[in-house]
Amino acid sequence: MKPPVLVIAGLDPSGGAGILRDARAVNSAGVDCRVVATSLTAQDENSFDRFEDVSPDMVEAQFKAAVRSRHPAAVKVGMLGSRANCEAVARLLRGLKTRPPLVVDPVLAASSGGNLTDDSDLASLRDHMIPLASLVTPNVPEAAVLARMDITGVEQMESAAVTILRMGAGAVLVKGGHLKSETVTDVLAIKGESVRLLRHERLPRGIHGSGCLLSSTAAAHLALGSSLAEAVQLGIDAVVNEIGL
């Protein structure tokens, strides 16, 4: 039996995003999934009400239970909720006997509205989580915040991807759906390789949970042995095939 993907993220009670969406994506790719909840949110596809972070001690307890009997073949990290949780998760990942591929989806705001982080959380994400990541998957607003730059076109997306890559990540996918264009251009930067431009049809804006679907599908395919580029493309395909219907 293939080892599971471990998903570390927030709980969306609507199931449209967060660990429920992640688990469905991982299972659809043919891989088992285990989860750690970092934050509880009250939201649906239309509005965001509030959230409460799970304590770092409880995050650690969930993590240890999730990996106790089966070491993960890949890990996906989404909403962490707090600096303390970010640092706890980074410490726990560094403590694994073997380091599985790690996909980090830097969830800074809910698609239905609501800020999910502050400056200290961002600093922790840059300093502790991104250096561990095999792949980071920000959208344009998230990439702009992480790279500390304005992004108005594909050239700036490329610059932001390279900047985030220099923080220690193995690869960065900057998703271009927030930019105005007839087709969407995503930018993939992999350490040691030329930057790639990935184009696909435009989908409706602000689709709830699309980032979770892409990043979790990519993590599942990394667990199955796909290359970074293959896993990214399969993640994009999953979003286009599911949401584009």
Please give the Cα distance from 134 to 120 (Å, whole number): 23
Closest CA to 211 of 110, 80, 105: 105
What confidence category does residue 81 fall into, taking pLDDT thresholds of 50, 70 and 90? confident
Of 110 and 209, the one with more pLDDT: 209
Confidence bin at 123 (pLDDT 50/70/90):
confident
Instruction: Spell out the long-range contacts of 235-240 with Cβ–Cβ below 8 A and sequence spacing 24 or more.
Output: 235/137, 236/186, 236/198, 236/200, 238/25, 238/28, 238/29, 238/213, 238/214, 239/203, 239/210, 239/213, 239/214, 240/200, 240/201, 240/203
pLDDT at 110 over 60: no
Residue 219 reports pLDDT greater than 60? yes
Average pLDDT, the chain: 90
Q: What is the pLDDT of residues 201-210, one digit of tens each?
A: 776 655 678 8
Q: Which of 103-112, 118-127, 155-164, 189-198 has the lowest mean pLDDT?
A: 103-112
- Tell me how far apart the alpha carbons of residues 38 and 89 are, in angstroms, rounded to a whole number: 9
CA 170 to chain centre: 14
CA atoms of 160 and 64, how far apart (whole Å)? 35
- What whole-number percentage of the chain has pLDDT above 70? 91
For residue 182, pLDDT beyond 70: yes
Is 36 in contact with 230 (CB distance < 8 Å)? no
pLDDT at 6: 98
Q: Which two tokens stand for residue 232?
A: 């990214």
Q: What is the CATH number of the domain that holds 115?
A: 3.40.1190.20
The boundaries of the domain holding residue 38 are 5-243
Tokens of 52: 């409460």
Q: Tell me, yes or no, if the pTM score tops 0.95.
A: no
Choose between 200 and 105: higher pLDDT: 105
Q: How confident is the model at residue 114 (pLDDT cuts 50, 70, 90)?
A: very low
Q: How many distinct structural domains can be found in the chain?
A: 1
pLDDT in the model for residue 112: 44
Which range is least confidently modeled, 2-11, 18-27, 114-123, 127-136?
114-123
